[in-house]
Structure formats: structure tokens, C-alpha cells
């Protein structure tokens, strides 16, 4: 059985690319996947961790369509995202080793926006336009090609780049 340390929920759009946050890691602003640490318990799975972290780290409640699409209810958004992560038609899952001895992994959930409801797509596509600061996060960026991106990467972004290039 795989032991997870963390999870990321990354949205991909064919025109815009991959959605990342601009986050201070140490003292440097770096391109980093939206996600966080997995707090293991019987009640919380790795999918729920990715969704919780995405909701906590983004201004999704501030998007224009949140109130109309989810009736302003956070639990509807959570359920929609959990359903999306479990749907192999729109989500690909990649695990990468993040420990020296190979016993701990990070899980990337890559969600393809073109497979989702157009109103939800608009919510996600607008995240980079919303002024947002949360602890160490200083906004969001769409990156089409990680190979040519000039922003400094976090360790997990380098892991994702390797997965996408393989």
C-alpha cells in the first residue's frame, strides 16, 4: 500500500496550460502545484486532501459563477470536485516518490477542463485574474509549457515536469 505525504489538484486547459500557484517556498517565490499535506486518518482519503487544499488555497468562492453554479454552497463544490477526481474520463492520476527511501509519494490529480461543465470551466479559468493572497501564496499562473517557463520551480513542480515529459 502506498503512503502519501501530500496531494495536488492541477487543472489543465488546452489553450491556457496548467494552473499553478505562485508561492513562497523558503524565501523564494516559486511556481508550485496547488495542494498540500495529507493528514492520514480513517475518515480522510487522498482525494479529499487534494480537494480541501485546492479550496483552501484558491479564491474559488470569489469567482463570478460560484453562486450560480453551486448555489453558493461549499459542500456542492466539494462533492463536484470529488466526483471529478474519481472520473477517469477527465482526471489522470500520477504518483511520484518524494522520500529518499521510496516509501512516501505525492499524488498529482490532473483534471482536463474541456471534459467539465462550461460554467465550471469559466470559474477555474478566471482564478488567475482574482487578487488573492493566502499565507505564502501570491496569485496564480497558467503555464502552457513547463520546459520553456522562466519562473523558478518548486521540487514538486520539477517532479510534475518529469512526469509530463515521460
Kindly report, residue by residue over 107-161, the tens digit of the pLDDT.
Answer: 999 999 999 999 999 999 998 888 766 777 888 889 988 888 888 888 888 888 8
- pLDDT at position 47 is 93
Q: Pairing between strand 35-37 and 104-112?
A: unpaired
> What pLDDT score does 80 carry?
96
Position 153 scores a pLDDT of 86
CA distances from 130 to 12, 58, 105, 109 (A): 18, 9, 31, 23
Q: What is the mean pLDDT of residues 53-75?
A: 89
Question: Which domains can be identified in the chain, with CATH numbers?
Answer: 3-165 (3.90.79.10)
* Angstrom distance (rounded) from CA 23 to CA 96: 21
- Relative to beta strand 104-112, strand 17-25 is unpaired
Q: What is the mean pLDDT of residues 62-70?
A: 87
The answer to whether 121 and 113 are in contact (CB under 8 A) is yes
Fill in the DSSP letter of residue 2. Answer: -
Euclidean distance between CA atoms 157 and 23, whole angstroms: 12
Burial label for 81, CB within 10 Å (0-12, 13-18, 19+), is: buried
Per-residue confidence band for 165, with pLDDT thresholds at 50, 70 and 90: confident
Q: Look at residue 140 in the predicted model and tell me its pLDDT.
A: 87
Q: Which cell numbers hold the place of 112?
A: 482536463
Amino acid at each position: 500500500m502506498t503512503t502519501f505525504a501530500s496531494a495536488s489538484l492541477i487543472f489543465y486547459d488546452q489553450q491556457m496550460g496548467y494552473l499553478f500557484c505562485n508561492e513562497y517556498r523558503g524565501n523564494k517565490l516559486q511556481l508550485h502545484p496547488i495542494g498540500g499535506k495529507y493528514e492520514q486518518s480513517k475518515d480522510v482519503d487522498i482525494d479529499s486532501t487534494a480537494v480541501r487544499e485546492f479550496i483552501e488555497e484558491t479564491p474559488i468562492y470569489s469567482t463570478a459563477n460560484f453562486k450560480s453554479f453551486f448555489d453558493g454552497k461549499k459542500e456542492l463544490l466539494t462533492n463536484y470536485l470529488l466526483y471529478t477526481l474519481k472520473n477517469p474520463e477527465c482526471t489522470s492520476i500520477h504518483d511520484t516518490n518524494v522520500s529518499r527511501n521510496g516509501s512516501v509519494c505525492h499524488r498529482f490529480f490532473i483534471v482536463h477542463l474541456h471534459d467539465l461543465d462550461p460554467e465550471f470551466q469559466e470559474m477555474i479559468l478566471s482564478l488567475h485574474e482574482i487578487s488573492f493572497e493566502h499565507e505564502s501564496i501570491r496569485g496564480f499562473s497558467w503555464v502552457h509549457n513547463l520546459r520553456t517557463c522562466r519562473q523558478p520551480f518548486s521540487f514538486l513542480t520539477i517532479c510534475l515536469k518529469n512526469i509530463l515529459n515521460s
